[in-house]
Amino acid sequence: MRILVVEDDADAAAYLVKGLREAGHSVDHVIDGATGLNMAENGGYDAYVIDRMLPQMDGLTMLEKRREAGDETPALFLSALGEVDDRVSGLQAGGDDYLVKPYAFSELLARVEALGRRRAPSNVTTKFSVGDLEMDILSRTVRRGGRKIDLQPREFRLLEYLMRHAGQVVTRTMLLENVWEYHFDPQTNVIDVHISRLRGKIDKDFDTQLLKTVRGAGYTLSDED
């Protein structure tokens, strides 16, 4: 993926750029909103990572201008402001995701990669498959190896999210935000338990484990090892 990082904090940016490059992405970095806007106008990016508070032009304004110009490149806001209202204003400015500082790099990487995937027309797809696991959104059925698997509504949404992001790392916070729509961190490992329930239903009687734990980051649904 080609990623534009707009971040004025030199240390944070160096860390971010290095990490994204190591993950195999091509990264351009600028330190203020005005330059960021110029770079973005040249086009060709798969995702923007924008700090909310920037010199000259703040991140919200920069993205608003791009959105007005019809640019639909997915964007992730980084911000020290993490309350509900702040998130709402970020999303209203055209942001697709919102990550509060300080964050773990694995969290950011997972979210940026999930954004890149969002561009693919997967939103209108109604059938997904990973290995021999198949999901039909319209009839709300899940089969593995031709055998029907019964899921609770929430389990279905959880699996749907994992299927839409198959092959990518999905963090616990991403699941909590997207499947349950909460933005706080429960101290109990509630998500892990839900995942292990789901795993019990889709992986238990099969040789290949599709729903894998990625240590220190989250989970991934994939049929590769």
Report the interface residues with other proteins, using CB under 8 A.
Answer: 82-85, 102, 104, 154, 180, 182-190, 193-194, 197
Q: Are 25 and 47 in contact (CB under 8 A)?
A: no
Closest C-alpha to 50, from 39, 36, 34: 36
Q: Pairing mode, if any, of strands 2-6 and 75-79?
A: unpaired
126 vs 187, which CB is nearer to other proteins? 187
Nearer to other proteins, 124 or 184 (CB): 184
Other C-beta atoms closer than 10 Å to the C-beta of 120 total: 9
| Closest distance to other proteins from the beta carbon of 200 (Å) | 10
User: Whose Cβ is closer to other proteins: residue 42's or residue 187's?
Assistant: 187
Distance of alpha carbon 117 from alpha carbon 39, whole angstroms: 22
Nearer to other proteins, 166 or 174 (CB): 174
Tell which residue, 110, 101, 117, has the closest CA to residue 50. 101
Distance between CA atoms of 55 and 62, rounded to whole angstroms? 11
Whole-number minimum distance, CB 9 to other proteins, in Å? 17
Closer of 85 and 207 to other proteins (Cβ)? 85
> Is 35 in a helix, a strand, or coil?
helix
Give the three-class secondary structure for 206: coil
Shortest spacing between CB 18 and other proteins, in angstroms: 17
Kindly tell me which of 84 and 138 has the beta carbon lying closer to other proteins.
84
- Residues 88 and 95 sit within 8 Å (Cβ to Cβ): no
Would you say the C-alpha torsion 181, 87, 102, 214 has a positive or negative sign?
Answer: positive
Nearest distance from C-beta of residue 51 to other proteins, angstroms: 18
The least CB distance from residue 27 to other proteins, in Å, is 24
CB 193 within 8 A of CB 200: no
Shortest Å, Cβ 186 to other proteins: 5
